[in-house]
Amino acid sequence: MSQPPEDPVPDSTGPPDKQTLRLLERHLASDALVAETAFDPDSYEPRLLQAQLDTGRYPDSVTAVRLDIRWFTTGDFSIHYVEEHDEEGQWECRWDRHPNTHNARLHFHQPPTATEITDLELSSLHPLEVYSTVFTAIEQRLESLWSSE
């Protein structure tokens, strides 16, 4: 009888991690950059946590900004940052951890279209550490937008 691998890699993301989504929602709700949060379909059975960011903190050319967060009991996640612009359309990027055939399990979809993908290394996969990494990148993006104005 063969032994199973020590750390099997699941071939799916698994069910949503409600506890982690609620933890992240509490942090988002207290962040000055976040205008509003909502669960989809609802807070009892969340599959998606969406945060609308405060466009008053962005240049006028940015008409809407959102963050879509999915977190799964397997530790997999997807955090999708999307800006809507008057004339340029969307500017987006995404931090992902999930089984796939295109890159390492942990990877980043690069802006401005999120179509180019690179492997990603994070010092920790704890949800609050990932949250911190994402918000650091968002703050850097904000600085970049204002410096190009």
109-123 pLDDT, tens per residue?
999 999 999 999 999
Contact 95, 101 (CB under 8 A): no
Local confidence band at 10 (pLDDT 50, 70, 90 cut-offs): low
CA-to-CA distance for 89 and 101, rounded, in angstroms? 29
Q: Give the number of other Cβ atoms within 10 Å of residue 63's Cβ.
A: 11
Local confidence band at 149 (pLDDT 50, 70, 90 cut-offs): confident
What three-state secondary structure class fits 17?
coil
Q: What is the pTM of this model?
A: 0.89
95-105 pLDDT, tens per residue?
999 988 888 89
